[in-house]
Amino acid sequence: MKSFYYVIQTLLHSRGSNLIKIISLTLGITVSILIFARQAFEFNYDTCYKDHERLYVVKSIWDIGDRHMESHITMGPVAGAIADAFPEEVESATVTQQWWRNSGWFRDNNRFTCHAMTGDSCFFSTIGIPLVTGNPNELTNPDVLFISRSMAREAFAEQDPIGQTLTMSRQLPMTVKGVFEDFPENSSFYGVRIVMSLASSAKHGWGYWGWRGGDSYLSCIRLRHAEDFDKVTARFPELVKRFYGDDSSVKYAIELTPVRNYRMDGGVSSMRMVWILLTLGGAILFIVTLNYVLISISSMARRAKSIGVHKCNGAGGNTIFGMFILETGIILLVSLACMALLLVYLRESVEDLLDVSLAGIFGWENIWVSLCVVTFLFVVGGMLPGYIFSRIPVTQVFRRYTEGKKGWKRPLLFVQFCGVAFIFGLLGVVLSQSYYVTTMDRGFDPMRVVVGQTDFGNSENARSTLANLPYVESAASGSNIFLDGLSGEVLTNAAGHDVSLRWMQADKDYIPFLGLKMKEGRNMAKDGEVVVNEKFLEIMNMEEDPIGRQVGKRDNVMGTIVGVLKDFPTSNPAYEPIQPLFITYAPNFNGTVLLKLKEPFEENLRNLNKDVREIFPQNDLVFKSYPGLISQQERSVTNFRNAAVLAAITILFITLMGLIGYINDEMQRRSKEIAIRKVNGADAASVLSLLARDVLWTSIPAVIIGTVGAWYIGNIWREQFCDTSSFPVIYYILIALGVLGIIVGCVVLRSWRIANENPVNSIKSE
């Protein structure tokens, strides 16, 4: 108890430095735990299914001409063919379509928004998600669906949902035949609360089913034993040849991806980003730990006499060591409490940044991450200074402690300066690239444009009704928008080879509506007319006199080229290069409806959605901002940018706290030396230069190493983009000089008082 009492008294006596420790620890622990736990959560994706080691996702590999493409989207019959070919090795197989994200579902007049997908009778047993109630064989019938437990509570409260009806988009009623457990947050299907029968897809024509196209299905295979993997995949070439044939111009192959690797392998996330973020988290954790050690050791000269007093009263080295460990534990507990308060207060912002709930981040599967971070801090931050303090001899009660001047401090400062330079160099690259990505020219104008999905049938009244609303400038429609990519189609080029291209349909207003630039020719005006882009002509070998030439596959003519568009990105321009595109004419005002609104944009968007519900009560038409959808697409880039900014601010603050503690200790330790220098004629400028030069000997090589590390990691991060901003070496040099300027400025500000103080005061205090 005496040790505890003395520790509390010491903490209260040194509350200024302890407050600095708590603030820096709170920031460092919070940011490092969030980064590490988020990446641990990433590694745990799709491990939530029963016996996930036996679950695989089928990957399609296409080689069409000189283009190589890999995707986890397959043709419909693939999963069934694998199951039939390997009855002893394959336990079950399933096929699903995932086109209905944020779709609208109605019970009476109540609208529910959720992700939906199709599934067959083997869906739940293959994926490994348990059913609450219902027979999965019901999914062989059309217009049948299963809903999640949360959807059942939300839509039907205490009523039995079985046999009840939900209507998709106000137009297609379906009967609930079962309830399944919600997909966990670490599932790639998280948010899917409705599984429609695959038979509904066949009935309503939602996609082609065959071996010659329609690759729009996700296929999953569950093996009886994981050891059968090599045996099954070895016979895939034979299986593909039997069903797909051997087309010399189009090569097709399939592979199996373990479900736990599906997210990384599918491009939703990337191992490169994970390791970069782990590097950031490691840098923050290492720096905050060393900063705690630095501040603790910097107080050695001040605390040496009190430790000597303890030893005079019978305290041994182990007792002193235990007191310092207890002190570290108390400070760490206070910092963890502050972290908890900070996360509660900023919960919404943190969850938006991480794209995961705090419950998922700190779930039982990831709690070990937080424990490891805290343990590292406690062991290194507590035991190392505790060991040094326990070795202070008892004679320090009689004389001033002066040994061990900078042996520990300079290496600690070196690492912190290195970390600051690294983070700020990387931040410069990230800010430059994120600005480039978010402001790059997409080749069309999405400003004040809103997008909605619906089916008006053959009615032209819908176009005029919407276009005549007082806040609408113009209207157009097409099959897609240029956001997440377009449908694929294989055409035959002038040399007789099949090539893969992007394809969509649009009405006559679509191209001028978005301001797409025409290189030659004119816009479409009737059936059979086609508009293509420059990349299309290059791939199809039609650069010379393209206007009037016919396009199609083999002998099947799809249309005649009447116009050529200048190239522009049809999907995410940050990650996808320019794709060859052809647009065919669609006369009806249907599918993806686009409207350009007048200002004020947000207010008019709210008015539009309110009026549309009254004008078209039979349609589930909800308009969204096109610029908002683009911002959502760029979220991975902006989230990493925000994480880098947060890391930079955290590390800078922590390092400055350590530097201030170091300078304060140096001024206390060298106060007599400075006073004697001033008595002998040294002015304030020479004293400041002396202290700054002392720090620069440590900071310059550290900043150089950190900047080189930022250059290396920054280039690795930029490799994921198909087009990058310019970031020459001079920018790294300027950032390094800026970091050195901050360090020197901090030294000058903290040393200004003692450099201008009367030397008599320092000598009298000795």
pLDDT at 403: 44
Alpha-carbon span 332 to 372, nearest angstrom: 13
Share of the chain above pLDDT 70, in %: 84
For 455-480, the pLDDT digits (tens) are: 887 667 888 899 999 999 999 999 88
The least confident of 122-136, 182-196, 630-644 is 630-644
Sorting pLDDT into bands at 50, 70 and 90, what band is 221? Answer: very high
Residue 594 contacts residue 516 (beta carbons within 8 Å): no
Mean pLDDT of the chain: 84
Closest CA to 74 of 181, 271, 184, 213: 213
Phi, psi angle pair for 734, to nearest 5°? -65, -40
CA distance 161 to 290: 58
Residue 124 above 90 pLDDT? Answer: yes
**Residue 130's closest CA among 111, 153, 143, 146?**
146
C-beta of residue 307 within 8 angstroms of C-beta of residue 323: no
Q: pTM for the whole thing?
A: 0.81
Residue 600: is the preceding peptide bond cis (ω within 30°)?
yes
What's the pLDDT at 397? 46
Please answer whether residues 298 and 16 qualify as being in contact, where contact means their C-beta atoms are separated by less than 8 angstroms: no
In this prediction, residue 304 has a pLDDT band, given cuts at 50, 70 and 90, of: low
124 CB-side CA count, 13 A: 28
pLDDT above 90 (res 522): yes
Question: d(Cα 176, Cα 163) in Å, to the nearest integer?
Answer: 5
CA distances (Å), origin 215, targets 208, 285, 489: 8, 46, 10
Q: What angle do CA 463, 465, 470 make, to 5 degrees?
A: 115
Neighbour tally for 33: CB within 10 Å? 25
Instruction: Determine phi and psi for 571, rounding to 5 degrees.
Output: -140, -140
- 683 pLDDT band, cuts 50/70/90, is low
**Where residue 450 falls among pLDDT bands split at 50, 70, 90?**
very high
The CA distance from 333 to 22, in Å, is 9
C-alpha to C-alpha distances, 660 to 234, 413, 553, 663, nearest whole angstrom: 64, 11, 72, 5
| Whether pLDDT at 108 is above 60 | yes
Alpha helix positions (H), 593-728:
601-615, 626-633, 635-669, 671-679, 684-718
Q: How does pLDDT run across 604-618, given as a tens digit for each residue?
A: 999 999 999 889 888
| Residue 255: predicted pLDDT | 92
Model confidence at 269, pLDDT cuts 50, 70, 90, reads low
Task: Retrieve residue 250's tokens.
Answer: 């189009």
Tokens 């995410």 belong to which residue? 572
More confident residue, 674 or 479: 479
Write out pLDDT tens, residues 34-73: 999 988 898 888 999 999 999 999 998 888 766 777 888 8
Tell me how far apart the alpha carbons of residues 32 and 336 are, in angstroms, rounded to a whole number: 12
Q: What is the DSSP string of 327-384?
A: HHHHHHHHHHHHHHHHHHHTHHHHHHHHTS-HHHHTSTTTHHHHHHHHHHHHIIIIIH
In whole angstroms, what is the distance from residue 424 CA to residue 699 CA?
15
pLDDT higher than threshold 60 for residue 394: no
The domains found in the chain, sorted by start residue, are 2-41+272-437+638-764 (no CATH), 49-97+207-268 (3.30.70), 99-202 (no CATH), 449-633 (no CATH)
**Which has more pLDDT, 653 or 547?**
547
Angstrom distance (rounded) from CA 357 to CA 361: 6
From 578-582, 704-708, 761-765, the region with the lowest mean pLDDT: 761-765
Confidence at residue 181, expressed as pLDDT on a 0 to 100 scale: 95
